[in-house]
Amino acid sequence: METILIDEAAGRKLAQQHGLEVRGVVGILETLFLRGEILDLNAVFANLLANAYIDRKFLNHRLHLLGRPPLD
């Protein structure tokens, strides 16, 4: 299956309709963290929050699912 990196909602839906596996930036970062390639996911998410339009609640939810503390 082909994979595409996209975060925009309408683009994700269209890609999925065409049979593509969709991954977003947060999903890629989580995968790298789980592989041990990123040691401090909180720091990476904090940097993402400071430099991109992304919801803090969403990032904190993802951190919670991974057993990590929330962003300050």
d(CA 20, CA 41): 27
70 inside domain: no
Give the end-to-end CA distance of the chain in Å, rounded to a whole number.
Answer: 38
> What was the pLDDT predicted at 38?
97
71 inside domain: no
* Domain count within the chain: 1
Regions of the chain with pLDDT less than 70? 1
7 inside domain: yes
11 inside domain: yes
Residue span of the structural domain in which 30 resides: 3-65
The pLDDT tens digits for 43-56 are 999 999 999 989 99
72 inside domain: no
